[in-house]
A and B are shown apart, each in its own frame.
Chain A
Amino acid sequence: MSVLIVLDQSDNQIKKSAFEILSYGSQIAAQMGISAEALVMGTVHDDLAALGKYGVTKVHQVNNETLNHVDGQLYAKTIEAVVSLTSATVIVFSQTHTGKSVASRVAARLKAGFVAGAAGLPNTDNGFIIRKTVFSGKAFANISIHTTIKVIALNPNSVTTLLTNGTATVNQLNLTVDSSKIKITAVNKITGEIPLTEADIVVSGGRGLKGPENWGVLLDLAKVLGAATACSRPVGDAHWRPHHEHVGQTGVQVAPNLYIALGISGAIQHLAGVNRSKIMVVINKDPEAPFFKAADYGIVGDLFEIVPQMTAEIKKLKGEKSI
């Protein structure tokens, strides 16, 4: 029996979200006294043996170019084959875009109970119960999975990644893969920006910035912090910022270590996309803004005065450290 951890890759590289689930899956395996093994599909240039440091003993690779692009139909068949090869009883994904299009298919194919958006380790004392976020982060549900095989998709940034000093053996698998019914005609990466869903720090702006021409103060702060930028829905709707930056109930959901909200009132639909952030900071001139109820740190004041001071202060701090 084993825990099989299915890794996301793109551009021939294993994605950051994969390291978290490697550690997570290994912790589940340790808890259940079974082995932790990983699966990589497609061509990757990473050192797979080194993934042992996250706790897995084996890394299987199906190095087939057809799998470089995510096609859930082909992925599900491939994963099924590897599940039977490894006698996996727990299959772990990350609840990323890839996870969302693949994990559910795998669960249906294997008729395995599925928990998407898991928030932590399962309780395996008596059955298999796992916590997930529900109502857009406003609550949790404990879900019991009844089937022998369990499929879990973990919310990114939910558990601490633990390191060991192990290495993994790499097992190349030669599986036949059908041709894809999905023809990819273009991939447009947003270059030079930190992907919002992978960022440790997010700096976000709302209608309080008054107009697109004022975004400089926000961009400067994001730059010194190495942060991704986001915005509230009206800002995206008014095209002050690109669509893909809109966070919230109907936009992107983020869970960074630090979320800084500038001139955002903190409507419930906005909070629904950001409330899994570890630390939230609010700068708003209205002391009654609802965001202060959800935040960890706040300043009541004019963002146009405060934000440049924050940037300068952080620069100073970072400068001192590098001496």
Chain B
Amino acid sequence: MKILVCVSKTPDTTSKIAFKNANTQFDDAGVQWIINPYDEWFALVRAIEIKEKDPGTIIHLVTVGAADCDPIIRKALALGGDEAFRINADSNDSYYIAAQIAELAKQNQYDLIFTGKEAIDYNSAAIGGMIAELVDLPYISLATQFELNANTATITRELEGGEEIAEVVLPLVVSCQKGIAEQRIPNMRGIMAARTKPLNILEPIAIDTLTSIVNFELPAPKAGCKMVAADNVPELIRLLHEEAKAF
């Protein structure tokens, strides 16, 4: 079994979101970078669990990003995984990123490609579907459970107001979310082992960038919270009904 896990670098969930250079760039002053939580907690951990059951499994990690991604990919290696690839390019365009990963996937013929549900910075939930299209594989998004039986995966995926259980023969692409695995923390042995695991730097292939960020905006500040006294509940309901027209 050969698994590719896609990981991306995102600001920590508590980061203050600010911009610089006339709002054209994310201001990363003081920002702590982490592995996108969906990639670490769910995609990577589920891959590690598969390897624990079937030790012959090989896990590759890939990130498309500049050298400042190395610490997070090292951390991902410390959690588990055998070999990492960093495709040395800095882009926000989903197609560009997916095409780079698809190229690696074509060369290595993975049985499974795992992504997170979405990256918490640009929230597109796009890369998995794009990779699947570019390598012509089935894609199951928003998986909450994943079981393997020889060459067949049984996957539960979330729908609006329910869930669907599907059987798919490998290879395929899956986007992972809560439920599929339980978060774990790297141990000392993993951290030591990660130092000797290969982190390969690949140069990107030539791909057009189809979109670009013009600038960023912060939402207009709220007018402030209108406080109602605890002994005046009818006033709250009146405001919601008449002023906010909320129901």
A is bound by B: yes
Which residues of chain A have a CB within 8 Å of any CB of chain B? 10, 15, 69, 71-73, 76, 95-97, 100-109, 111-117, 129, 131-147, 181-190, 193, 195-198, 200-201, 225, 243-244, 246, 249-251, 257-258, 268-269, 272, 275, 278-279, 281-282, 292-302, 305-306, 309-310, 313-314, 317
Contact: A114 with B226, CB < 8 Å? no
Minimum Cβ distance to chain B for residue A52 (Å): 25
Report the bound CA distance from A28 to B127 in whole Å.
Answer: 26
Contact: A258 with B246, CB < 8 Å? yes
CB pairs A–B below 8 angstroms (19 shown): A73-B133, A100-B125, A113-B93, A135-B121, A136-B123, A141-B214, A147-B210, A184-B164, A187-B159, A190-B161, A201-B247, A243-B144, A246-B178, A249-B120, A258-B240, A269-B14, A299-B236, A306-B230, A306-B233
In the bound complex, residues from chain B placing their C-beta under 8 Å from that of A314 are: 237, 247
Instruction: Count how many chain B residues have C-beta atoms less than 8 Å from C-beta atoms of the other chain.
Output: 80
Contact: A201 with B165, CB < 8 Å? no
Report the bound CA distance from A293 to B226 in whole Å.
Answer: 10
Q: Judge if B21 is at the interface, Cβ distance under 8 Å.
A: no
Smallest Cβ-Cβ distance to B158: which chain A residue: A97
Contact: A313 with B214, CB < 8 Å? no
Contact: B130 with A104, CB < 8 Å? yes
Contact: B225 with A282, CB < 8 Å? yes
Interface of A is mostly: mixed
In the bound complex, residues from chain A placing their C-beta under 8 Å from that of B127 are: 104
Interface of B is mostly: mixed
Q: Which of B37, B138, B219 contacts A140 (CB 8 A)?
A: B219
Report the bound CA distance from A134 to B25 in whole Å.
Answer: 13
Given contacts A105-B133, A250-B37, A258-B240, contact A97 B120 (CB under 8 A): no
Contact: A135 with B178, CB < 8 Å? no
Smallest Cβ-Cβ distance to B221: which chain A residue: A293
Which residues of chain B have a CB within 8 Å of any CB of chain A? 11, 13-14, 17, 19, 37-38, 41, 93-95, 98, 120-130, 132-134, 136-142, 144, 154, 157-169, 178-179, 208-219, 222-223, 225-230, 233-234, 236-237, 239-241, 244, 246-247
Minimum Cβ distance to chain A for residue B134 (Å): 5
Contact: B212 with A116, CB < 8 Å? no
Contact: A105 with B139, CB < 8 Å? yes
Apart from A73-B136, A134-B123, what are 7 other A-B pairs with CB-CB below 8 Å? A97-B141, A142-B217, A144-B213, A182-B166, A249-B120, A281-B236, A297-B236
Q: Which of A145, A201, A309 contacts B246 (CB 8 A)?
A: A201
Q: Which of A97, A196, A297 contacts B240 (CB 8 A)?
A: A297
Smallest Cβ-Cβ distance to A226: which chain B residue: B247
Q: Which of A15, A144, A186, A306 contacts B165 (CB 8 A)?
A: A186
Report the bound CA distance from A108 to B105 in whole Å.
Answer: 15
In the bound complex, residues from chain A placing their C-beta under 8 Å from that of B128 are: 104
Contact: A142 with B222, CB < 8 Å? no
Contact: A181 with B178, CB < 8 Å? no
Q: Which of A105, A112, A190, A243 contacts B129 (CB 8 A)?
A: A105
Contact: B133 with A181, CB < 8 Å? no
In the bound complex, residues from chain A placing their C-beta under 8 Å from that of B237 are: 310, 313-314, 317
Report the bound CA distance from A72 to B129 in whole Å.
Answer: 8
Given contacts A10-B159, A313-B234, A314-B237, contact A141 B139 (CB under 8 A): no
In the bound complex, residues from chain A placing their C-beta under 8 Å from that of B246 are: 201, 257-258, 278-279
Q: Which of A111, A129, A278, A297 contacts B225 (CB 8 A)?
A: A297
Contact: A116 with B125, CB < 8 Å? yes
